[in-house]
Amino acid sequence: MLFDVDGTLIDALANQRQVWRAWAGHYDLDPDQVYATALRTRPQDTFTAVAPGEDPDQCLARLHALEDEDARSGTYDAFAGASDLLTALPPRRWALVTSNYAHRVAIRFHRCGLPLPEVVIDAPAAAHGKPHPAPYLLAAQRLGVAPSDCLVIEDTASGAAAGLAAGMTVWTVNAAEPVPGAHRHYANLQAAAADILDHLS
C-alpha cells in the first residue's frame, strides 16, 4: 500500500496554498500560477518553472522556513478514517510517497496522531518527482515487492499518473471528480478504507 500524504491522508491543502502565496510574494510572482505549478511538481521543479533566475538553494531555504513553521504551528488535521486505516496496516506492507519532506511529514503525522511507516519516499529521495514513476518504483523496491503488487492511493492527476506509469493499481480519493486513468475513485478516504484493507488481505 503506497499512500500520497497531502490531500490524501492529511488535509493541509489550505496550508500549502498559504505557504506558497507567502513564498511567491517574496519574489513578486503570481501566487495562483505558482501554486498551480507547485501542486503538480516537486519544489525544485517548481522553482525552475516559475523562478528560473533565482538561486534554487535560496528558494528552497525560504520555502522550508515557511513550511516548517506551518507544520509546527499551523491548523490542519488528518482526513476522517486515516488513523484507523493506517493503524490497521501491517508493518512493512505500506509506505508514504510524497513530494513533501520527511521531517515535515513526521511533524504533521505526530500532531495528527498518525503512525509513521518504516518507508517514506520524500521529495529528495528519488531522481525525479511525480508524475514520473521514480518515487513509486523506489517505494516498491524498498518494501521488496513488485510494482504490479502495489496499490497506490492518491488525490491528484499528477500522483495518479506516477502510479500508473510505475505499473501499479491506482485508486483516488478526496478529488472533486474521478481522475483520468485511475482504476477506482472514492469521494473520500473513509469511503475507501474498507476496500483498501480488503485489497491488502
Query: Residue 122 belongs to a domain with what CATH number?
Result: 3.40.50.1000
Is 70 one of the catalytic residues?
Answer: no
pLDDT band, very low/low/confident/very high, at 201 (cuts 50, 70, 90)? confident
pTM of the model: 0.89
Q: What percent of the chain has pLDDT over 90?
A: 87
In whole angstroms, give the CA distance from residue 195 to residue 41. 29
Q: Give dist(CA 144, CA 155) in Å, integer.
A: 25
182 plus 125 within the same structural domain:
yes
82-108 pLDDT, tens digit per residue, is 999 999 999 899 999 998 899 999 999
Q: Same domain, yes or no, for 59 and 103? A: no
| 64 and 111 share one domain | no
Domain boundary among 51, 73, 95: 73
Domain count, the chain: 2
The set of residues, in sequence order, having a beta carbon less than 8 Å from that of 121 and lying 6+ positions away, is: 95, 96, 97, 98, 135, 136, 138, 139, 142
Determine the pLDDT at residue 73.
Answer: 96
pLDDT at 137 over 80: yes
Write down the catalytic residue from 4, 11, 45, 155.
4
Catalytic residue, chosen from 6, 45, 122, 155, is 6
Q: 87 and 170, same structural domain?
A: yes
Q: In terms of domains, do 143 and 192 share one?
A: yes
Detail the DSSP E strand segments found in 34-168. Answer: 77-78, 95-97, 119-121, 151-154
> Do 125 and 175 belong together in one domain?
yes
Give 57: exposed, middle or buried? Use CB within 10 Å, 0-12, 13-18, 19+: exposed
Statement to judge: residues 82 and 42 lie in one domain: no
| Span 13-65, pLDDT tens digits | 899 899 999 999 999 999 999 999 987 788 888 999 999 999 999 999 999 99
- For the cut 80, the answer to whether the pLDDT of residue 157 exceeds it is yes
One domain for residues 69 and 148: no
Residue where one domain finishes, among candidates 39, 55, 73? 73
Question: Residue 131: what pLDDT?
Answer: 93
Which of residues 57, 73, 89 is at a domain's end? 73
Looking at the fold, whether 85 and 166 belong to one and the same domain comes out as yes
Residue 93's pLDDT is what?
96
Residue type, 69: E
The range of the structural domain enclosing residue 134 comes to 2-12+78-200
> pLDDT category, 149, cuts 50, 70, 90?
very high
Cell readout for 70 is 506551518
Do 166 and 91 lie in one domain? The reply is yes
Mean pLDDT for 8-16 is 93
Would you give the DSSP letter of residue 174? S
Please say if 68 is a catalytic residue.
Answer: no
Cell of 62: 525560504
Average pLDDT of the chain, as a whole number:
95
Same domain, 100 and 134: yes
For residues 55 and 103, state if they share a domain: no
